[in-house]
């Protein structure tokens, strides 16, 4: 399995001029902990996470430095801190130089990046354009799937599995109207596993029915549960 097999594709993004208030509102509304920042061509230019909003002057958490620490900090250090704690646009708040992977990145490589850099998610890009996100939860979903040990046989079914997953995601988002960041779909040799959570019983039923409507699926294992609205998606 690679990044393209497990990534979340309905990624919520913002632009460099998105205001602080809207950023906070999006994080809360969609129950996510990070927002990729893209330009007009969908090229990834940064990411704003919850951590970037923890120290803010508005709520008194800007962590003013002790006098002795202020003395050793350079003007550049202090000005950068000021921008982070007082800036009001995504361009001021975002982390630049974001760690990314390509759609063909193997899962062991992604797991290593998450562990090494102590991050919750890694954007997936193609030619610099954002096409998805792989989170820790996505990796756990993949771990639960029983993978055939025969690499050649797995490769032979990979394209059809990806196509099935694409059809399922399209059915969920476009036909059933389910835009659930906590939901993930894993397809392995035609067998579908549904993971994550939705916030209503009707959405859970719609997920099952949407997958059943796709031809070519051998089996469905529905592990979708209900979750409170405040739980983080990625």
Tens of pLDDT along the chain (234 residues) come to 899 999 999 899 999 999 999 999 999 888 888 999 999 999 999 999 887 888 776 766 666 654 444 555 555 566 777 777 788 899 999 999 899 999 999 999 999 999 999 888 999 999 999 999 999 888 888 877 644 444 445 454 455 888 999 899 888 888 777 876 678 899 998 999 999 888 888 888 899 998 998 888 889 999 998 876 655 556
Is the domain spanning 144-234 CATH 3.30.1340.30? The answer is: yes
- Distant-in-sequence, close-in-space partners of 43: CB < 8 Å, separation ≥ 6: 128, 129, 130
Which positions ≥6 away from 116 have C-beta within 8 Å? none
Same fold? 1-134, 144-234: no
pTM, 2 dp:
0.63
Residue 147 has what pLDDT? 47
Enumerate the domain spans of the chain.
1-134, 144-234
Backbone φ, ψ for residue 84 (5° rounding): -65, -40
DSSP readout, 79-120? HHHHHHHH--BHHHH-B-S---B-TT-BHHHHHHHHHHHT-S
* 18 contacts: CB under 8 Å, gap ≥ 6: 37, 89, 90
CATH of domain 1-134: 3.10.580.10
């Amino acid at each position: 399995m690679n990044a393209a097999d497990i990534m979340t594709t309905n990624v919520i993004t913002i632009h460099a001029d998105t205001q602080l208030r809207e950023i906070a509102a999006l994080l809360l509304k969609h129950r996510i902990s990070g927002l990729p920042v893209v330009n007009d061509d969908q090229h990834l230019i940064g990411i704003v996470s919850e951590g970037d909003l923890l120290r803010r002057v508005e709520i008194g958490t800007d962590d003013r430095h002790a006098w002795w620490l202020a003395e050793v900090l350079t003007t550049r250090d202090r000005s950068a801190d000021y921008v982070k704690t007082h800036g009001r646009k995504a361009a001021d708040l975002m982390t630049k130089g974001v760690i990314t992977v390509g759609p063909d990145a193997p899962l062991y490589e992604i797991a290593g990046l998450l562990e090494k850099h102590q991050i919750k998610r890694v954007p997936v890009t193609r030619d610099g354009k954002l096409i998805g996100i792989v989170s820790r939860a996505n990796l756990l979903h993949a771990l639960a799937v029983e993978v055939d040990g025969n690499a050649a046989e797995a490769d032979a079914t990979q394209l059809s599995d990806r196509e099935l997953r694409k059809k399922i995601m399209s059915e969920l988002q476009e036909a059933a109207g389910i835009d659930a960041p906590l939901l993930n779909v894993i397809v392995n040799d035609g067998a579908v596993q549904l993971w994550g959570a939705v916030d209503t019983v009707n959405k859970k039923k719609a997920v099952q029915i949407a997958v059943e409507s796709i031809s070519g699926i051998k089996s469905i294992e529905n592990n979708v549960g209900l979750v409170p609205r405040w739980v983080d998606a990625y």
